Each structure stands twice: as structure tokens, then as C-alpha cells.
Chain A
């Protein structure tokens, strides 16, 4: 056995094959063909879509011999300049996902024949149904993160069309939450991809820890980005809010795929990033706990898983809509898967148990959850109502479906002999191992929550089964129903698969899950221990018996105290307390930007233009004033001229009268002479002091008309005086 373990860890050869490309392209091209066929005839379209799904499945299966030899790779160069290429790389893990998807997709396509018969827009549905398969297969078959992102986005957008198929208000609202969170998750993922690429310069999905450490990148940030990006798709609490809205609203085959497979894409991504990219290539001996960031994040993921599984189960217990119960159940079961991934990451190279548990539960959950959604869908085809308070007693009408439903419910409940038992046991082992690493008391509590959640899972399925299938048949639905043979076929295949895996757990375990560890870094001793694992041991069965005993206590109590129909207040829901306010704040911010910043800038421009106009006004008014001033000036001048004219007249008069004055002047002259001799001394003094003063300038303002007249008169007087004095 040791050699087998050795073989798993050795680097296997690389096979170049274009098969993965075709596996992805066939459904995508097929979608177009189905669309074209759908315009002509219905049955050709139906047959064609199933044929394409079948062919895809066949192609995937044909990869199996290659996978056993090594890794299948194919590079399709897209833009060589920036090393951007479509890189397909298929290892065992990818193969498990691809095989699972193509198989269940095939069954769902068959089931759609029956389910979609009375629906509208069938061609659109089948077309996008197949296209989404291509997107999903692309995600798991690509070998680098950028190609993965490409298909991830394609998947999100094409599955949107499936979610809103009904096109009523409810589904449009659910679709909006779905698409917005999908885009948001995609962008956060892209951020992580950018950061990773700028740190290590490659996006290939392989252990990159040494490169990351060497580059000194901010590892927790990158991990967080990836965790959120994939977590949205995985329905991880608190990013799960789209899931319980979108999954029940879609047509049953689509919900089956959304719940059974597409949320696994998120788990796949987390698995690849945390367990592969952020781990080293070598097994480190005696590794310290929390040596790497992936271990720390493993611990976080364990707790996210615990919270997700518990809250999911609690919410599932409170629902009455069958599909809502199943949707919350999906949230809860994703918690198990995340718990497995978390344990694997937490324990590093020793975490093989969590790894196989997560993978096995992914496979099992795909079978029973897809099956369950289709089984209630089969009832819905005839009743068009799935509220368990309205539709009851369907076991009498659909005995076969009730039987398969019971099988699937046993599977999800983890009853020994059905498939869920194996994977739950593995995950349970993983959490126990994680607890034993350093006896973390918190993980002890986590283990107890795990057991409690398992009991609750059984409880809500008892509730669902009792509600939908047992009891009296309401009058409204008391008719004879004849489900189509396709329904019997698909339900039968699901039930058979569940029982087969449950009874022979080693088949899938040895042929698929153990080889999947190839490429991941695990301790060979652990791997060897796992290969020899036996599931049907007494301690494991006892654990299940404990769970059932717990159910026997919880269910009657819950029924008695009406614990299964609590209406939680709105504020308790994450959507109301977190997302709606956030969306509201975002909207208010946008409005604020529009109202105040954008319009504000606009107003600044208007304001400045108003200011400019005002300035212009002021200038023009100034000009007016100037005009007035000039006007005024002219008037003044005219007045001055008038005054001068009048003055001249007066002058004439004065000349005429001056002869009379001459006599008086003589007398005055005498007096003047006397006065002169007196004052001459004083004048000389004044003249000297006057010279000392500085004359600033001759100013016309100081001269007024009266002074001018005076000066003129004086000068005339002096002229006369000198004239006469000379004569004398």
C-alpha cells in the first residue's frame, strides 16, 4: 500500500490533448444549435440538447484513462504579448468536478423535457442551460486563474437567465441580487487575481507559496480577496443572501444545478486557492501551527463553515416553502464542505482527511440536492404549488417520487447505507483531528455544533417529508397524476446512485477521491492511512446513532414549542441589517455626487459667469458715470463761458465808471504811500520767511473766479497807478 501512496505524490507526466477545449466548446456551440433548432421544432430541440449533454458527458468520461496517466494540458494562445492565454489543465480533481457536472447536467436536461413542457421561453431556457454547462466545465478545466475568471463570469451571466426565467417581479428582484452580488464577487476575485499576478507574475494554478513569500506580497489580503470572491458563489455566510432568493425562484432543473453544482464552483475555487496556490510544494516536517497564512485562513474557514452550516439549518427549519427549505439546506451543506476545506487548510500537510471529506461531500451533495430539487419539481409540475402547508399527502399521488425522496433525504441526513453518511463521517473525522492538533477548546465546541447541525438536518427533512408527502390530500390537489417516464427515469437514477454510493463507498473513494490528492501537498503517511480507511466501523455508526437520538429529542420538542415556525424579525436578517442599508448608502452617495458635486461644479460655473456678468455691468455703469461726468464738464464749461461773458459786460461798465473814480484815487494814493512806508519793513520780513517754504506746485484749483477778478482789478489798478505816477 505504501507504494500506492508514493505513486500518488510523485509528479506525473503531462499529456497534451485538445480534448478539454472541446469539452468546453461543445456545450457552448451546442447552445447555439439548440437555439436554432428551437425555432423550428420542439422535439428536435429537446433531443438535441440531451444529445449534446450526453456527448459532453461521454467526452469527459473519455478523459479518465488520460487522467490516470497524468495531467492533461492544452494551451490555446490568445494574446501572446501579455502572456494571456487560455490554458486548460485537467487533473483528477478537475475531472471529478467535470464528470459530476456533465452527468447531473444530463439528468437535469432530461428532466427539463418534462418540467419545461408547459413553460414559456423554452428555447431560451435550453440554450442557456447548455451554455451554462460550458461555463461551469470551463471553470474547472482551466489551469490558470485568468481563464478561470473568464468562464466564471460567463457562468454567472448565463445562469442569470436561468434564475429569472419566470420574469415576474419576485424573480426579477432575486435576479438583481444574484447578478449584482455575482458581479461584485467577480470584481473582488479579479482584484485578488491582479494582486497575485503582480506579486508572482504567473496565474497558473499550482503551489506558488515560495514565489509568494519571495515576492513579499500581502498574502492575507490576496487570500481574503479570493475567499470573498469565491465565497459569494459558494453561498458562504454572510455572502449567502442571494442563494435563498435565487435558487427557489428558478425552474426546478435550474435550481437543481444551481444548488447542486454551481455553488460548488465557489468551493472549488477556495479549494484551489487555499489548498493549492497558497501551499508549498514540499511537505515540511514538524511544521509549526499557523506557519502559513493558509493555515490561519483554514481556521477562519472552519468557523465560517460552522456558522454557515448552523445558520443554514436553522433557517431551513423555519421555512414552509419546499424549495426554500432545500435552498437553505444547500447553504447549510456548503457549510460542511467549507468545514472540510477549512480543516484541510488548517492542518496543512496533515489535512488530507478534510480534503477527502470536502470532495466526497461535494459529490454526494450534488447527487442528493440536485435529486431533491427535481423531485419537488416533479410534484410542482402537477400542483404548481410547493408550500407544505397547502400541498400535502403527495405520497399517495406520487408513490415513486416519495420513495426516491426518502432515499435522498436519508442520504442528506447521513443514515448509514446512504451516500451522505460516508462524507459526513469523513468531515467529522476531520474536525476531530483538527481539535486534536492542539486541543483547541473552540474546535471542541465546533464539533458539537457539527453534531447538532446534523440532527437539525434530519429534523427539517422530517418536516419537509411529513408536510409534502404525508397527511391528507387537500381537495384541490386530489386528482390522478401521471408523471412522465422521463421523471421516473431521472429520479430512479438519482436514487440508485445514492444507494450505490452509500453501500459501496469505496468505489468512488478509491477510484476518484484518493487520486485527487495528486498534485496537492500531503503527507504520504496520511494518504496511506486514508487509502485503508473503512467507513463502516462502530465508532462512526455510533456517531450517527447519537445524531438520530438527538433528533428524537429535538423534533418532538420543536414541534411542541413551535420552534419550527419562528418568524424572525426583519432586523435580524443580514439582508435587512447589512445589505439593504449598504445599498441605500451607495445610492445616497451616488445621489449626493450628482446633486452636490456634479451640480455643484456646474453651479460654480454658473456662479462665475454671473459674477463676470456683474463685473461687466459694473464696468458699463462706470462708463455711464464717465459719460455723465463729461456731460457735467461740458455744462460747467458753458457756465464758465457765461460767467466770463457777464464779467466782460461788467467790465465794460466798470471802464465807463472809472473816470469818476480817478479823483478818489488820488486821495487813496496818498494814503497808500503813507501805509506803504509803514508796512515795507514788515513785508521784507514776510518775504524772507516765504522763501524758506517749498512751493509744491501751482494749482488751478486754488483759483476761483472772484480771486481772478480781484487779481485783474488789482493789476488794472496798479497799471493806472504807475501811469499816473510817472506823469506826476
Chain B
């Protein structure tokens, strides 16, 4: 394992967007153009800053930074700590965020309350990265709450009755989740005397309190990850948000829950303990239900974005299943699926946004013949959908391949069957959209010039679709290498 290096970068990537929020907020009074540019530049700089950690991370180093003591007498310190797993998530988050911000410029240009939208978007970026680079659970909790609460503004952006209702549900559930998470953190401190991510296996004796801690974490992070009984906010909140925000909510913010659970399973507890006590089985069962429920319900939905939102639930189930099986290939599959899903769902949601903006239609039965009118958008949509179904050589296939092998390594072919049934259902709800779009009868009697989508939107769409393609079965696969290293780190216990 590499050494620990003090670096200012982790703090920079989280505090820089937050500080820029203020700048953007004051600048927008002067000029809307400058505001947009500043937002994009901020997100690009943040991405570059995250990427700048790459040389050190790839050596196996761990970057740390101690900010200040938050509650000195209890030993809570605002620490930042980036290892390979954090880096994976920070990288994909800042990358998709950057594209979503670029996409927003054109997408939001006709929307109201842009002055509220951009600062919120950038602030949430900082908070989200803060979760990944936090060095202890207390700091993580603070950023987690910041992100959850601030993103409420993104959810209710439309301010329609529907959006407000969904936002209300979202905020209530988030608060419940946050409180459960706080309970978990406090319990961990009580039991282990530390909440720092430097340690692994903080709790390794079974007790009632330990189990309560486990459940509290599951509720706290599972709520964010859209796990089965806690997913109800997701299909309401994701479709009502503006397209780039939905892409981020589905593509990135769900992953904070998954990331938290990784940390809980490998830092707070450890693999042997969870397997011995069989507590992990709770997560496995819930993950299986999540997969099947998400996919099954998606088939019954006709609202494009709602279908995508339910699909997200199913796909998060893959990640949860992979991480709860604890075999090397399964964890590799789960981490790689975090990457894959961010690309795929990010792409699908912003494509959906482009379609909705251009046609004003959300019902997939009304989207016949759209593929002829918006070929680039729909080809990107098709690529991402096929990746979702797991068609080789796209990236979804690679994650499915690893998840399935992981399940078989763990001696559980049943989970492979679950994965395949879910794949079939993915096919059943994505293929009709594509088929209808390219070969369906034209229902839309609206004149649209071929791909009249603004360049910035098209750019983000195409980049994400290409990512689905090249990060599949290809010789140079950076996300896969990173996932591989993260898996080695987790399995090796060298966090």
C-alpha cells in the first residue's frame, strides 16, 4: 500500500464550488452570461482538480487533510481523506456534473429562476464531492445533509404542485434518513470511540447496539440509494426535477448512498463480521427485491422520466447486490456499475430532457418516429438503453458479467437468475421506446428540424453515449482499472 500524503486537493474540490456559489450568486445580478460561464468554469476546474489527484492515487497513496476541529473535546475533526474508492466516485461525479452543467446552459435558458438554479447546482457539487472526500463519518454526515437538503431546491425547481408535493416527500424522507445516519454515527462513536475512515472493523462484536447501528446506517444510506422499502421518494422526485438535475440525482446522488454503504460494510464493520452474523443478508434480500421491483414497475410506467426513475431503482439494486455478496468479482461489478450507471442513466435522462424540451411530450406512446427527427439524440439513447439491457460490447454488459460471476463465485446462481430476469425486463421497457422511436408510426405531427437540439446539449449527450461505448469491452478501460484497484483495496482490507 502507498503512503499517506497531506494534500490540499481534497479540501479544494469540495470547498471551491461552495465558495464559487457565493461568487456566482453575486455575479448573476450583473450578467446572466457571466453566471453561466462561471458555473461551467467552476465545474470544469473542480473536475480538473479531482483528476489532478490521479497520479498520486494510482500509486496507491492516500491523500489526507485536516481542516479544523469541529468539536474539539470529542475529537471530531474535519478531516478529508481520499483513497482509490473515494477517487472513483469523486471522478465520475465531477465528470458527469461538468457535462450536466454544460447541458444546463442551453436546457435552462428558457426556464424561470435560473438565478436560484445555478448556485444550487454548484453548491450541491461541492457537498456531493465532500461526501466522497470526507475522512470521517462526522464530516461525511455534514456533507451528506448539506447535499440532501440543498438538492431539494433542484427537485422543486418547477414549482408546480406536483413538484412541490414530490419535494415535500423528498425532504421528509431525507430528514428521516439523515437522522438515522446521525444515530448510526453516534452509535459508532459510542461503540468504537472513533469515526475516522482510517480504521477498518470498528465494530466487530455483535450486540444489540451494534445491530441498531447497522440498521441505522442501512436506513440512512439506503434511503439515499433508493433501497426497496425506502425508495418511495425516488420515482416522484427524479422525474419532476429539470433534466440535468434528474441526471445528477439518478446518476450521481444515488451513488452517495452506495458509497456510504461501502464505507459502512468495510470500515465500520468488516466482511468477516457481517458474514458471520449474517446481517449482510438483510441487504442482499432487499437488493434482490429492489432489482425486481424497480424493473417490474418500470414496465408499467408510460411517463418517460418516471420509467427511467424506476429503472434507476432497479440498477441501484445491482450495486447493492454486488456489494453485499462480498466476492471479489461482485464488488468489482458493483463499483464498475456505479461508473456504468452514471454514464448510462446520465445519458438517458438528458436525452429524455432534450426530447421533452423539443416535443413537449413525456408519454412514450406519443414518441413514435422521434428517432427520425432527432437521430443523434435517439442513437445516444439507444446506445445507453442497450447498455442497460447488458448487450455486449457496451459497458452494462461488463458490469453484469462481473456481478454474475461474483454471484456464482459466492455459490449463489439464484442471484444470476435475478440479474438475467431483470435484464429481460430492462429489455421489455427500453426496447419499445427505441422501436417506437425509429420504426413506430409517427404520432407527432409537429415539425421539428432534424436534431434541432442546441450544441451544448448535444455535446453532453454524445460524450456520455460514447463513454457507454468505449468503457465497455475495450482495451483501454480507465473506469474498469480504477474499479479493479478499488476492489483490491476493499478486499485487501487496506483501506
Shortest beta-carbon distance from B420 to chain A in Å: 4
**B residues within 8 A CB of A179?**
427, 431, 435
Contact B424 A153 (CB under 8 A): no
Which residue of B has the minimal Cβ distance to A609?
B172
Partner-contacting stretch, out of B98-106, B129-137, B257-265, B391-399: B391-399
CB of B416 closer than 8 Å to a CB of A: yes
Shortest beta-carbon distance from B296 to chain A in Å: 4
Shortest beta-carbon distance from A603 to chain B in Å: 9
Shortest beta-carbon distance from A641 to chain B in Å: 50
Contact B297 A605 (CB under 8 A): no
In whole angstroms, how far apart are the Cα atoms of A97 and B392 in the complex?
A: 23
Which residue of A has the minimal Cβ distance to B329?
A82
CB of A594 closer than 8 Å to a CB of B: yes
Per a CB cutoff under 8 Å, which of A150, A172, A198, A605 touches B439?
Answer: A172
In whole angstroms, how far apart are the Cα atoms of A146 and B293 in the complex?
A: 29
CB of B474 closer than 8 Å to a CB of A: yes
- Tell me which residues from 179 to 224 in chain A have a Cβ below 8 Å from any Cβ of chain B: 179-180, 183-184, 187-188, 190-191, 194-195, 197-198
**A residues within 8 A CB of B474?**
78-79
Shortest beta-carbon distance from A505 to chain B in Å: 40
Interface string of A159-195 (1 = CB under 8 A from B): 0000010010000100110011001100110110011
Contact B398 A164 (CB under 8 A): no
**A residues within 8 A CB of B427?**
179-180, 183
Per a CB cutoff under 8 Å, which of A78, A150, A180, A591 touches B428?
Answer: A180
Contact B296 A81 (CB under 8 A): no
**B residues within 8 A CB of A184?**
424
CB of B405 closer than 8 Å to a CB of A: yes
**A residues within 8 A CB of B398?**
79, 84
**B residues within 8 A CB of A563?**
none
**A residues within 8 A CB of B292?**
593
Per a CB cutoff under 8 Å, which of B386, B431, B473 touches A78?
Answer: B473
In whole angstroms, how far apart are the Cα atoms of A195 and B179 in the complex?
A: 43
Contact B417 A191 (CB under 8 A): yes
Known: A150-B392, A153-B391, A167-B439. A601 touches B404 (CB 8 A): no
Per a CB cutoff under 8 Å, which of A153, A164, A187 touches B392?
Answer: A153
CB of B61 closer than 8 Å to a CB of A: no
CB of B413 closer than 8 Å to a CB of A: yes
Known: A153-B391, A195-B413, A593-B297. A187 touches B408 (CB 8 A): no
How many interface residues does chain B have, given as a range?
35 or more
Known: A184-B424, A590-B300, A593-B296. A191 touches B439 (CB 8 A): no
Interface string of B290-309 (1 = CB under 8 A from A): 00110011011100000000
Contact B473 A79 (CB under 8 A): yes
Contact A175 B391 (CB under 8 A): no
Shortest beta-carbon distance from A199 to chain B in Å: 9
CB of B477 closer than 8 Å to a CB of A: yes
CB of A582 closer than 8 Å to a CB of B: no
Contact A157 B391 (CB under 8 A): yes
Contact A197 B405 (CB under 8 A): yes
**B residues within 8 A CB of A176?**
435
Known: A191-B416, A194-B404, A594-B296. A601 touches B439 (CB 8 A): no
How many interface residues does chain A have, given as a range?
35 or more
CB of A149 closer than 8 Å to a CB of B: yes
Contact A191 B420 (CB under 8 A): yes
Known: A179-B431, A589-B296, A598-B297. A79 touches B475 (CB 8 A): yes
CB of A12 closer than 8 Å to a CB of B: no
Interface string of B149-181 (1 = CB under 8 A from A): 000000000000000000000001100000000
Contact A194 B389 (CB under 8 A): no
In whole angstroms, how far apart are the Cα atoms of A187 and B231 in the complex?
A: 28
**A residues within 8 A CB of B235?**
598
Known: A79-B477, A180-B427. A194 touches B408 (CB 8 A): yes
In whole angstroms, how far apart are the Cα atoms of A188 and B440 in the complex?
A: 28
- Tell me which residues from 398 to 447 in chain B have a Cβ below 8 Å from any Cβ of chain A: 398, 401-402, 404-405, 408-409, 413, 416-417, 420, 423-425, 427-428, 431, 435, 439-441
Shortest beta-carbon distance from B401 to chain A in Å: 8
**B residues within 8 A CB of A597?**
293
Shortest beta-carbon distance from B231 to chain A in Å: 8
CB of A69 closer than 8 Å to a CB of B: no
CB of B229 closer than 8 Å to a CB of A: yes
Contact A601 B229 (CB under 8 A): yes
Shortest beta-carbon distance from B95 to chain A in Å: 21
**A residues within 8 A CB of B391?**
153, 157
Per a CB cutoff under 8 Å, which of A82, A164, A195, A589 touches B402?
Answer: A82
- Tell me which residues from 580 to 607 in chain A have a Cβ below 8 Å from any Cβ of chain B: 587, 589-591, 593-594, 597-598, 601-602, 604-605
Contact A190 B439 (CB under 8 A): no
CB of A652 closer than 8 Å to a CB of B: no
In whole angstroms, how far apart are the Cα atoms of A79 and B336 in the complex?
A: 14
CB of B107 closer than 8 Å to a CB of A: no
Shortest beta-carbon distance from A399 to chain B in Å: 38
Contact B300 A175 (CB under 8 A): no
**A residues within 8 A CB of B416?**
191, 194-195
- Tell me which residues from 2 to 44 in chain B have a Cβ below 8 Å from any Cβ of chain A: none
In whole angstroms, how far apart are the Cα atoms of A591 and B440 in the complex?
A: 24
- Tell me which residues from 347 to 365 in chain B have a Cβ below 8 Å from any Cβ of chain A: none
**B residues within 8 A CB of A194?**
404-405, 408, 413, 416
Contact B475 A78 (CB under 8 A): yes
- Tell me which residues from 602 to 617 in chain A have a Cβ below 8 Å from any Cβ of chain B: 602, 604-605, 609
Known: A183-B427, A194-B408. A149 touches B293 (CB 8 A): no
CB of A77 closer than 8 Å to a CB of B: yes
CB of B484 closer than 8 Å to a CB of A: yes
CB of B232 closer than 8 Å to a CB of A: yes
Per a CB cutoff under 8 Å, which of B417, B435, B475, B484 touches A172?
Answer: B435
- Tell me which residues from 462 to 492 in chain B have a Cβ below 8 Å from any Cβ of chain A: 473-475, 477, 480-481, 484
In whole angstroms, how far apart are the Cα atoms of A80 and B420 in the complex?
A: 25
Interface string of A683-713 (1 = CB under 8 A from B): 0000000000000000000000000000000
In whole angstroms, how far apart are the Cα atoms of A260 and B391 in the complex?
A: 25
In whole angstroms, how far apart are the Cα atoms of A149 and B477 in the complex?
A: 21
In whole angstroms, how far apart are the Cα atoms of A180 and B431 in the complex?
A: 9
Known: A78-B474, A150-B473, A195-B408. A183 touches B296 (CB 8 A): no
**B residues within 8 A CB of A604?**
229
- 7 CB-based A-B contacts, threshold 8 Å: A81-B480, A82-B401, A157-B386, A172-B439, A198-B409, A590-B296, A590-B300
Given contacts A146-B392, A590-B296, 20 further A-B contacts (CB under 8 A): A77-B475, A79-B398, A79-B475, A84-B398, A150-B392, A153-B391, A175-B439, A176-B435, A187-B423, A194-B408, A194-B416, A195-B413, A197-B405, A589-B296, A591-B300, A594-B296, A598-B232, A598-B293, A598-B297, A601-B232
Query: Considering the complex of A and B, which 7 residue pairs feature the smallest CB-CB distances, nearest first?
Result: A198-B408, A593-B296, A150-B392, A590-B296, A183-B427, A594-B300, A187-B420
